[in-house]
Amino acid sequence: MPTADHAEFGSAQPKEHVTPEPPATSARPAGPRPVPVSDARPAAQAPAASQPEAETETETETEDSAPQDTVRSGEVSSPKEVAGELDMDAIRREGLTGRQLRMARRVAQKHGLAPTSDFDAVRLLRSKGIDPFQRSNMLELVVPQAGGEQRDGGPGDMMAQLPAQQGRAGTGRVQLPQTVPAGGGINLPSTELSPAERRQREIGDIQRDISRRRRRKLGLLMVRLAFFVMLPTFAAGYYFYKVATPMYATTSQFLIIQSEGTSTSPFGGLLPTQFANSADSIATQAYLQSKDAMLRLDADANFKTHFSNADVDPIQRLTNDPTNEEAYKVYKKNVKIGYDPTEGVIRMEVIAADPHVSADFSRNLLQYAEERVNNLSKKKREDGMADAVQGLEQAMDKRRASQQNLIELQVQNGVDPEAEIIAIRTQITTYEGLLIEKELELAALLDNTRPNKAKVDGAQGDVRRLNEQLDKLNAKLNSATQGEDSLAKKAVELQLAQADLVAADTNLQLAQTGLEAARAEANRQVRYLTVAVEPVAPEEPTYPRKFENTILAFLIFAGIYLMLSLTSAILREQVTS
């Protein structure tokens, strides 16, 4: 920065001081003072010297000058040389730093001088009226001066023709303000107007140019608006007021309700009727807006013929032999149906060129809607009842087969096998109790030292007979519980048959309950189309709405123009950037 450079190069406090050489007390020699070897080196090597080198040169010069003071010669120095010696001594006593001395040598070389030393460079510059430590002079060492040569293909200096800049850089430097010579070929600014007046005139020119541009842009904007917005709006208004055929709209309202039945849902009492019938209402609305309804209306009321009449304007009129697709487009435009889920009401508006024809179209569409509602619920009711009746018939057949199987098993067995097995087990238990008593009695007789033989024989006989009877009963029980014809197997078969009969009875009861529920559900699913507002033929045309449609056309064209303008502006900005 300039401030830093000035403070660095022009500081009065040097960083390194060169010991000043005291003035010589002896008389000067008569001849010229010889030049020291150290001071006679080329000027091109001076900028590369460092501060220690400068000090060495100063000491060498001092040492060389000391013995020369005693030399006497016949030559006498001129007053100019003596004055230069005195100036050199004064410069040494200033205490300049090595950096300042090297800077002075470079400035001297810049101005085409040939100093013999750093102090001589300071002296020569001051003799030329140049301050070597001035900031501008220091910057000249880095920034090329005006009038410099063209280097490396760069452009030359525009100030090369100034008198103070001709020749080498810095040659002819003038320290004081100079007048410009007349006819010097220098293009100077005119002094006819003051800067304030010239600025005011330029501001006025800019304002007039801005106003002219604004007027031109405003005119172009009005032309574009007239062409893209006003003209189409005028054409649309002319059509609505003069050309469009008056159309008559017949409105009607109807809703779909269900029979008052008991709902099987736990929330049946909380849900309103319109939500329960929303699916049927939406289906009816879709049917009335379908191509099927249009074809049926054309077959019954000649829909295509009515809109192909020559009294209808060309924009709304069908061709003489229109296709179903063309007729369907006109049908969707002239039959408007809306469903309100909060109220459960279906609103229908039918538009035609004749009021009575419009009312006839509306009545036919209501009839089609009623038939569609009946068909939607009828199929569902029939399917539910058919499934319930079929389930009941199957349950009755299974119950009849189970009962017949049980009867056949009972006939084959003759007796109850389970009861017979229980009786055998009861007999075995009884004989086992008698056997235990006889064995205890026999043991008591045998415990005597001289038992009665007759009683012992009788007790032993009873024990033997009881054992034989128990063996027979066990064999009978085994034959009843084992084998293909055992009583146990017959008892199991009988129990299975009885279980099948019980299950068949349960299924039959469930089937009967399901049939009753299906019948109740079928009754609840019955739908009725109730007409809330009957269609009435209007006396005045409903469409077109001339003023509203004209304003809507204006807004549409204005919006299109605005979108196109914004798009073009954005694209233009992107391309230019």
Give dist(CA 165, CA 173) in Å, integer. Answer: 7
Nearest-Å Rg of the Cα atoms of the chain is 67
Reduced to 3 states, what is the DSSP secondary structure of residue 383?
Answer: helix
pLDDT value at residue 164: 42
Angle at 40 between CA 36 and CA 43, to 5 degrees: 150
pLDDT digits (tens, 9 = 90+) for 244-277: 999 999 999 999 887 655 444 454 544 444 444 6
The pair of structure tokens assigned to 296 is: 């049926």
- Pure H helices in 27-97: 51-68, 79-93
pLDDT value at residue 89: 82
Reduced to 3 states, what is the DSSP secondary structure of residue 531?
Answer: strand
Strands 527-533 and 335-340, how do they pair? unpaired
The pair of structure tokens assigned to 126 is: 């001051």
Q: Which residues does 73 contact at the CB level (< 8 Å), separation at least 6?
A: 29, 30, 31, 32
Q: Is there a cis peptide before residue 355, judged by omega within 30 degrees of 0?
A: no
pLDDT value at residue 143: 47
Angle at 192 between CA 186 and CA 197, to 5 degrees: 125
Q: Which residues pair with 249 in a beta bridge?
A: 351
The pair of structure tokens assigned to 214 is: 């604004």
The pair of structure tokens assigned to 234 is: 């005028």
The pair of structure tokens assigned to 251 is: 């409105």
Angle at 448 between CA 442 and CA 449, to 5 degrees: 135
Global pTM value: 0.46
Give dist(CA 103, CA 131) in Å, integer. Answer: 11
pLDDT value at residue 2: 38
Tell me the torsion sign for CA atoms 329, 333, 335, 336. Answer: positive
Mean of all residue pLDDT scores within the chain: 75
Burial 207-228 (b: 16+ CB within 10 A, else e): eeeeeeeeeeeeeeeeeeeeeb
Q: What residue segments make up the domains of the chain, in order of their start?
A: 2-144, 242-387+532-576, 396-529
Nearest CA-CA partner of 116 in 63, 185, 181, 46: 46
Nearest CA-CA partner of 470 in 436, 521, 518, 505: 436
DSSP states of 345-382: EEEEEEEESSHHHHHHHHHHHHHHHHHHHHHHHHHHHH
Distance of CA 37 to the CA centre of its chain: 85
pLDDT value at residue 260: 59
Extract the residue ranges of the chain whose pLDDT is less than 70.
Answer: 1-85, 135-193, 259-277, 413-418, 478-489
The pair of structure tokens assigned to 329 is: 């487009």
Give dist(CA 300, CA 359) in Å, integer. Answer: 14
Is residue 137 within 8 Å of 169, Cβ to Cβ? no
